[in-house]
Amino acid sequence: MLYGGRQGSLFGRLGPKVVLAGSMAAAALTVLLFLGLRTVFGERGVARTAGSGDAASGAPGATEAAAAPSRAGGSPREGETKAAGGALDSAASLPLAARKMLPGEEMIGAGKAKEALAWAESFSGPDSDRHKVLLIKARAMAQLGRTAEAKQTLESIASANVPESAEARLELLRMSGKPDVAVLREIWSSDGRGRAGTQAAMMLADSLWENSRRKASVSECAEELEECRRAYSAALLGRDISRADADRIIARMDTLNRVLIFNKAIETSNPKSVVHTVQSGESPASIAAKYKVPVGQVARLNGMAEKAVLQVGQRLKLLPGKWRLLVNRSSLDMLVFWEDTFIKKYPVGIGPGDATPLGTFVITKKTVNPDWYYNGQRIPFGNPKNILGTRWMGFDPNGPGRGFGVHGTSEPDSVPGRKSKGCIRMLNPDVEELYDLAPTGTIVEIVD
């Protein structure tokens, strides 16, 4: 199951909406940031969810953009044609793909170290599982206080040049109590989205997060904060992450994104944002076309209207590049990534059963205030029977997702839920924000 969740949604709604309108608000944010990161990154300020009453759907650090003045065209037809896209064909290709656990691993997870040790010592299964069993044995011995024996076993695995070596090195690092960032980077690099790589990325990000809180200003630790974002994003896309860890990462990423992404005064390097200096005769639309981003992104990130009159020399922040949406049918949520770095999380509504198809799709058509075409009839925007809300982002009409897309809704109580005709529903403020950020060509992956 995507995100490692077993029941319901992993994540609460994203953090609070911070509106920066014009230069006075931007200056106020700068003062706030330079008062010290301990306040900005305080856990109490990011752990609450929408259920706490303080979250909003708008982009942190951005002013609500004016609605696009004209329709982009297209004929959204939710549910008329069932997509033929099948499930992704290998568990390894899924974020947080589940791996079958050995009985001893389940015992360790349940705190039954004695039983796990007895199971490992009596194991008579295939030789291919030998090093997995030795890891279980070492963890059981460590839990039972037999530290020297556990270390000896882990060292033998670490030096064996087997897939489990990275996990053994990580266990040794945990036992030392010293989060050596160089070693964590190496494990993360060598194991990628494997279990050890995921845990190493999370431990590295945790260490960088704590280090950044001791710095006086964002400028002193900008590189650390960017690496922290990348490592936390890798953890979210990796394996075997717990719900508690995922909730904690999402909350911290929300804060990091407010400071780095949705702050027009900050330029990021990896992934790289663009800061464009306005030339004579340019408009938000011409600049958006130059960098292949939605005009709404220019407006939303920089706190202005889409038809604003720009000043020569004005600096505008943009996020060009690849965008990707991961929709989980089981947990009814969507994670948004820009260049494989987490940006936002939204609740979604889908169809019952398999009405919302599994597979990978591409957004090819975007429409403001869409009409709905259903059962051969056109239901115009504004008609109470039109269920599409304020935005439509349709999938490739020549592919398996014909007739499907991401859209708003006139039935907000259906998000999250399973009441759509197969499309992905979002609350209107959420879909308007996503519409502004994500360009045509955005990949949509729908998984269980």
pLDDT digits (tens, 9 = 90+) for 237-290: 887 788 889 989 999 999 999 989 999 988 998 899 999 999 999 999 999 999
- pLDDT of 161: 84
Q: Which of 131, 221, 276, 423 is catalytic?
A: 423
Which of 221, 228, 276, 407 is labelled catalytic? 407
Higher pLDDT, 398 or 69: 398
Q: Tell me if residue 407 is catalytic.
A: yes
Helix (H) / strand (E) containing 291 = helix 284-291
Domains and CATH numbers, the chain: 93-260 (1.25.40.10)
Residue 320 carries which DSSP code?
Answer: -
Cα gap 429→306, rounded to integer Å: 17
Distance CA 193, CA 336 (A): 18
Q: How far apart are CA 22 and CA 32, in angstroms?
A: 16
* Lowest mean pLDDT segment, chosen from 30-39, 129-138, 184-193, 248-257: 30-39
Strand bridging mode 372-374 / 377-379: antiparallel
Mean pLDDT of the chain: 79
**pLDDT score for 412:** 96
The pLDDT tens digits of the residues spanning 357-403 come to 999 999 999 999 999 998 889 999 999 999 999 999 999 998 888 88
Closest CA to 424 of 295, 317, 328: 328
Residue 249 confidence (pLDDT): 95
Q: Quick check: 332 pLDDT over 90?
A: yes
Q: What is the dihedral of CA 262, 263, 266, 272, to 10 degrees?
A: 10
Band of residue 153 on the pLDDT scale cut at 50, 70, 90: very high
> Is the CB of residue 300 less than 8 Å from the CB of residue 319?
no
The pTM of this model reads 0.71
CA angle 228, 203, 242 (to 5 degrees): 105
Q: Render pLDDT for 195-218 as a digit per residue (tens, 0 to 9).
A: 899 999 999 999 999 988 888 788
Question: At residue 128, does pLDDT exceed 90?
Answer: no
Cα 222 off chain centre by: 20
Write the pLDDT tens digit of every residue in 288-322. Answer: 999 999 999 999 999 998 889 999 999 999 999 99
Q: How far apart are CA 134 and CA 117, in angstroms?
A: 10
Is it the case that residue 440 has pLDDT exceeding 60? yes
- Flag whether pLDDT at 9 surpasses 90: no
What pLDDT score was predicted for residue 100?
59
Strand 391-395 relative to strand 405-407: parallel, antiparallel, unpaired? antiparallel
Identify the sign of the CA torsion 437, 323, 206, 183: negative
